[in-house]
A and B are shown apart, each in its own frame.
Chain A
Amino acid sequence: MSLMAEPTAEGRFGEFGGRYVPETLIPACMELEAAFREAWSDPAFRAELDELLRSYAGRPSMLTECHNLSAQLGVRVILKREDLNHTGSHKINNVLGQVLLAQRMGKKRIVAETGAGQHGVASATAAALLGLQCKVYMGAVDVERQALNVFRMKLLGSEVEAVHSGSRTLKDAVNEAMRDWVATVESTHYCLGSVMGPHPYPWMVREFHRVIGNEAKVQCADLLGGDPDLVIACVGGGSNAMGIFSGFVDSPKTALIGVEPAGGAAVGRGIPGVVHGMKSYLMQDEYGQVLEAQSISAGLDYPGVGPEHSYLASIGRAKYETVTDPEVIEAFQVLARTEGIISALECAHAIAWLIREAGRFQGQTALINLSGRGDKDVAQMMDILEPELAAGGH
């Protein structure tokens, strides 16, 4: 049996997970679980989703071998190009699945939270395609630093609401989306953007992203003749990591590495806690107040993590490491200059970790999930880097 099987009936992965939500939402979570279970075992639903993933999202995403970066690091570096999906990140996999499911459940409206805006854009896209209303909650800080994605969502016909409570980032956007869902649960599906939240979300979202790992497994067999030594992915909530880990979790030779931002390291710095419907590692103070994450990357600016990551960490199957903002800024530039790929700041965390640690893995093969493209981050990076580039005579 796979290490990434179904959670228990209570939605637990080991001691983590569960369903800690207001009573109002319990029937909706149960209904969603039943609907997902039924749809996921229905070949017609699977075929419809596969066709959308192929003809609309652009799957399968390819592998790119990084010859220049490999030579520089002494590690053979392979990228899984989720950045080339429609809407620019892996998020579309989950969103197409959830919105198809919402439609099947007769829901007319979805709400979503977003950090960097990638899940919001993907949700707005799927809602436009499948004819549902969509409202996206986004922390006011993120609305400012990801203005392009806000405009994209509006272009796609979605309403975007800036959230001014708390730290005004991703965790507060989740709170506000949950408050909306509590009030509108009969007509609305909450299209949660990561492998987090109450059962069945961590399981369902992982299943919708399993396609990343399934493809990569076959592609690695073709390219490498087997599994890579390392699979590396950035972790905020942890959906892209869960997707690619799923292909290799049962491969004994493959080390799984999740890379968290130093300022948002739920596994690295957290202890078990309960927020947003789940028990998982959580950055919190001695009284259980949730701490604010601090990261250059809006998509990883989250003090919690999906419960299955906590489980994989607790049994030692995956390792969770941190990188700092300056290391990420450096990695963002290294990938651009060596490979001609401008990555999202989120997955630049995975690159940054490998650049720093390459000495320990000489001659080995590393598969990195390049979960998103960097278009959304260019303006922010221009502010940081342009003075530097100018000083360097460019």
Chain B
Amino acid sequence: MGRLDTDFRAKRDAGRKLLVPYVTGGLTGWQDAVRAAAANGADAIEIGIPFSDPVMDGPVIQEASLRALTAGATPVSILEEARDLDVDIPLAVMLYYNTVFRFGHRRFAELLIASGISAAIVPDLPLEESVEWTRAADASDVDTVMLAAPTAPDERLPRICARARGFVYSVGLLGVTGERDTLASTATTLAARLKKITDVPVIVGVGVSNAAQAAQVCAVADGVVQGASVVRRLMDGGADAVGDYVAEVRVAIDAVASAAPVAVITA
């Protein structure tokens, strides 16, 4: 187990709702955005490693990825810059599998740890294809976050949770990343299904678009990922706008945490 796993279980057990902002690595101002998010109540940061063909991402993160790549960002340059972040919360990377595959599983896992990254989220690497990577990741104490989707049948979810380290990423809706006016009903129904069967922290991401929606989600889940809403603010308003937004979401989900007792986990 890595640092994300230890941290998140401890904080969740202490009754805190977990906030995970996503920042596209290599985007202008991204390091300051990570620091601002950390200073304003984030519990971990997902650093996006831009990929040429991001099939799980909607327009905002596609645009951010393209800008970062056009500016010359590479996985190596981003991981080097990550070493200078000096924030006191766990860092995860979110990236597509070809980046890992091209480096080689073991070499990439070692590079992550050497760069101060404790976890990886690979949205196009489902359970069935994950063995080579998770073997290398486990050996280096990199936590591999697994995704669970609303389409999963009941029998599949326990197998996903059993393989998840750090948290299980409960995909909020059928669709790609991006902001929506209203929260999809799948966001809370899937989180509730997962909460019933696992003691791994359940964090909802994809389509959770503002502080109010984050609070709705946290009434059921252990926490929330904020992706497009953060990245859009970084592109439009810079790191300060990210810090303000993270603070706002923090307040909203803390209110949920103090209103509800900690759920008793039976699994």
**A: which residues have CB within 8 A of B?**
10, 18-28, 165-166, 171-172, 175, 178-179, 182-186, 272-277, 279, 282, 284, 286-290
Inter-chain CB contacts under 8 Å: number? 117
Taking the complex as formed, is B148 at the interface, i.e. its CB lies under 8 A from any CB of chain A?
yes
Q: How far is the CA of A209 from the CA of B260 in the complex (A)?
A: 59
Write out, one digit per residue, whether chain B residues 110-135 have a CB within 8 A of any chain A CB (1) or not (0).
00000000000001111111000000
**Cβ contact within 8 Å between B126 and A289:** no
**Cβ contact within 8 Å between A18 and B52:** no
User: Which chain B residue lies CB-closest to A9?
Assistant: B128
**Cβ contact within 8 Å between B74 and A182:** no
The number of chain B residues with a CB under 8 A from chain A is: 41
**Cβ contact within 8 Å between B129 and A20:** yes
Closest CB pairs A-B (n = 9): A288-B102, A183-B175, A24-B149, A288-B98, A23-B149, A289-B52, A23-B147, A290-B52, A274-B98
Name 19 A/B residue pairs within 8 A (Cβ), A-sorted.
Answer: A19-B128, A19-B129, A20-B124, A20-B125, A21-B55, A22-B126, A24-B174, A166-B66, A175-B54, A175-B55, A179-B55, A179-B175, A182-B56, A183-B174, A273-B98, A273-B102, A287-B74, A287-B102, A288-B99
Task: Return chain A residues, CB-CB under 8 Å to B148.
Answer: 23
Q: How far is the CA of A345 from the CA of B205 in the complex (A)?
A: 45
Task: Return chain A residues, CB-CB under 8 Å to B74.
Answer: 287
**Cβ contact within 8 Å between A179 and B128:** no
**Cβ contact within 8 Å between B75 and A287:** yes
Q: How far is the CA of A27 from the CA of B147 in the complex (A)?
A: 13
**Cβ contact within 8 Å between B151 and A28:** yes
Q: How far is the CA of A273 from the CA of B100 in the complex (A)?
A: 10
User: Which chain B residue lies CB-closest to A167?
Assistant: B52
Determine how close the nearest CB of chain A comes to the CB of B93; give it in whole angstroms. Answer: 13
**Cβ contact within 8 Å between B52 and A185:** no
Task: Return chain B residues, CB-CB under 8 Å to A276.
Answer: 53, 55
Give which listed residue, B62, B124, B152, B160, contacts A165 with CB less than 8 A.
B62
Taking the complex as formed, is B58 at the interface, i.e. its CB lies under 8 A from any CB of chain A?
yes
Task: Return chain A residues, CB-CB under 8 Å to B97.
Answer: 20, 274
Q: How far is the CA of A351 from the CA of B177 in the complex (A)?
A: 44
Give which listed residue, B58, B66, B129, contacts A18 with CB less than 8 A.
B129
Write out, one digit per residue, whether chain B residues 163-191 have a CB within 8 A of any chain A CB (1) or not (0).
00000000101111000000000000000
Q: A19-B126, A165-B62 are in contact. List 14 more A-B contacts (CB 8 A).
A: A21-B55, A22-B55, A22-B56, A22-B171, A26-B128, A27-B152, A166-B66, A185-B174, A186-B174, A276-B53, A282-B98, A286-B102, A288-B103, A289-B69
Taking the complex as formed, is B15 at the interface, i.e. its CB lies under 8 A from any CB of chain A?
no
Q: Output the residue of B52, B156, B171 with the most chain A CB within 10 A.
A: B52
User: Which chain B residue lies CB-closest to A286?
Assistant: B102
Task: Return chain A residues, CB-CB under 8 Å to B58.
Answer: 179
Q: How far is the CA of A284 from the CA of B102 in the complex (A)?
A: 9
**Cβ contact within 8 Å between A26 and B175:** no
Q: How far is the CA of A282 from the CA of B96 in the complex (A)?
A: 15
Task: Return chain A residues, CB-CB under 8 Å to B147.
Answer: 22-23
Q: Output the residue of A21, A289, A290 with the most chain B CB within 10 A.
A: A289
Task: Return chain B residues, CB-CB under 8 Å to A18.
Answer: 129
Task: Return chain A residues, CB-CB under 8 Å to B129.
Answer: 18-20
Task: Return chain A residues, CB-CB under 8 Å to B53.
Answer: 166, 171-172, 175, 275-276, 290
A22-B123, A185-B174 known; A274-B153 Cβ under 8 A: no
**Cβ contact within 8 Å between B55 and A178:** yes
Task: Return chain B residues, CB-CB under 8 Å to A182.
Answer: 55-56, 174-176
Determine how close the nearest CB of chain B comes to the CB of A144; give it in whole angstroms. Answer: 21
Q: How far is the CA of A178 from the CA of B245 in the complex (A)?
A: 31
Determine how close the nearest CB of chain A comes to the CB of B46; give it in whole angstroms. Answer: 16
Task: Return chain A residues, CB-CB under 8 Å to B124.
Answer: 20-22, 274, 277
Q: How far is the CA of A279 from the CA of B132 in the complex (A)?
A: 14
User: Which chain A residue lies CB-closest to B69?
Assistant: A289
**Cβ contact within 8 Å between B126 and A21:** yes
Determine how close the nearest CB of chain A comes to the CB of B72; give it in whole angstroms. Answer: 11
